Amino acid sequence: MAEEIEPCTYVIFGATGNLSKLKLMPALYHLEVGNRLPADTVILASGRREWTREHWIGEVRKMIEAKARGGIDEKVFETFSSKLQYIQGDLHDPKAYEALNDRIMSESDYPKNIAFYLSIKPGDFGAVVENLSNATLFDEAHGWRRAIIEKPFGYDLESAQALQKRLHRFLSEDQVYRIDHYLGKGTVQNVLVLRFANVLMEPLWNRNYIDHIQITHSEDLGVGSRGYYYDGAGALRDMIQSHLLQLMALVAMEPPVSMDAESLRDEKVKVLKSIRTIPQSAVHAHAFRAQYRSGIVNGEKVNGYLEEGDIPQDSVTETYAAIKLFVDNWRWRGVPFYLRTGKRLKKGQSAVSICFKRPPQQLFKNTKIDQISPNWVLMGIQPEECMRMEVTVKEPGLTMKTRTTSMDASFRQEDEQSTDAYEDLLLDVIEGDRSLFLRYDEVSYAWKVVDPILKVWAMERDFINSYPAGSWGPEEARRMFAKEGQNWRHSLDIEDGTDG
CB-based contacts of 426: which residues, under 8 Å, 6+ apart? 10, 24, 27, 28, 31
The neighbour count for residue 360, using CB atoms within 10 Å, is 6
Question: Considering the complex, what minimum distance in angstroms separates the CB of residue 338 from ligand BG6?
Answer: 19
DSSP-assigned beta bridge partners for residue 290: 320, 465
CA 462 to the chain's CA centroid: 31
377 burial (CB, 10 Å; 0-12 / 13-18 / 19+) is buried
Cα 178 to Cα 155, 164, 241, 293, 438, distances in angstroms = 15, 11, 14, 34, 5
Question: Considering the complex, what minimum distance in angstroms separates the CB of residue 233 from ligand BG6?
Answer: 8
Task: Tell me the number of residues near ligand BG6 by CB under 6 A.
Answer: 2
Site string for ligand BG6, 46-85 (x = CB under 6 A): ----------------------------------------
Closest to ligand BG6 by CB, 332 or 447: 447
Closest to ligand BG6 by CB, 213 or 223: 223
* Residue from the set 219, 231, 308, 442 that interacts with ligand BG6 by CB under 6 A: 219
Residues 339-378 that bind ligand BG6 (CB under 6 A): none
Site string for ligand BG6, 174-213 (x = CB under 6 A): ----------------------------------------
Question: Considering the complex, what minimum distance in angstroms separates the CB of residue 238 from ligand BG6?
Answer: 5
Cα 289 to Cα 2, 112, 382, distances in angstroms = 47, 48, 23
List the catalytic residue out of 181, 243, 286, 490: 243
Residues 113-172 that bind ligand BG6 (CB under 6 A): none
Closest to ligand BG6 by CB, 210 or 248: 248
Contact 119, 150 (CB under 8 A): yes
Amino acid letter, residue 436? L
Question: Considering the complex, what minimum distance in angstroms separates the CB of residue 383 from ligand BG6?
Answer: 9
What is the 8-class DSSP label of residue 307? G
Question: Considering the complex, what minimum distance in angstroms separates the CB of residue 379 from ligand BG6?
Answer: 15
Question: Considering the complex, what minimum distance in angstroms separates the CB of residue 455 from ligand BG6?
Answer: 22
For the residues of 52-117, what is the DSSP string, one character each?
-HHHHHHHHHHHHHHH-TTS--HHHHHHHHTTEEEEE--TT-HHHHHHHHHHHHH-TTS-S-EEEE
Closest to ligand BG6 by CB, 32 or 219: 219
Closest to ligand BG6 by CB, 18 or 208: 18
For the residues of 171-206, what is the DSSP string, one character each?
--GGGEEE--GGGGSHHHHHHHHHHHS-SSSGGG-S
Residue 231 within binding range of ligand BG6, rule CB under 6 A: no
Closest to ligand BG6 by CB, 38 or 470: 470
Q: Distance between CA atoms of 482 and 97, rounded to whole angstroms?
A: 54
∠ Cα 41 440 127 (to 5°): 65
Question: Considering the complex, what minimum distance in angstroms separates the CB of residue 371 from ligand BG6?
Answer: 35
Asked if 212 is an active-site residue, the reply is no
Q: Distance between CA atoms of 41 and 429, rounded to whole angstroms?
A: 13
Residue 79: phi and psi, rounded to 5, are -65, -45
Closest to ligand BG6 by CB, 100 or 345: 345
Question: Considering the complex, what minimum distance in angstroms separates the CB of residue 219 from ligand BG6?
Answer: 6
Q: Distance between CA atoms of 382 and 17, rounded to whole angstroms?
A: 25
User: For the packed helices 440-459 and 157-170, what is the interaxial angle rounded to 10 degrees?
Assistant: 150
Q: Distance between CA atoms of 310 and 226, rounded to whole angstroms?
A: 8
The neighbour count for residue 440, using CB atoms within 10 Å, is 19
∠ Cα 380 382 383 (to 5°): 115
Closest to ligand BG6 by CB, 44 or 297: 297
Q: Which residue is nearest to ligand BG6 (CB)?
A: 238
Residue 238 within binding range of ligand BG6, rule CB under 6 A: yes
Selection from 184, 114, 149 nearest residue 428 by Cα: 184
The neighbour count for residue 94, using CB atoms within 10 Å, is 12
Residue 318 within binding range of ligand BG6, rule CB under 6 A: no
Question: Considering the complex, what minimum distance in angstroms separates the CB of residue 154 from ligand BG6?
Answer: 14
Closest to ligand BG6 by CB, 47 or 227: 227
Contact 381, 187 (CB under 8 A): yes
Catalytic residues: 243
Residues engaged in binding ligand BG6 (CB under 6 A): 219, 238
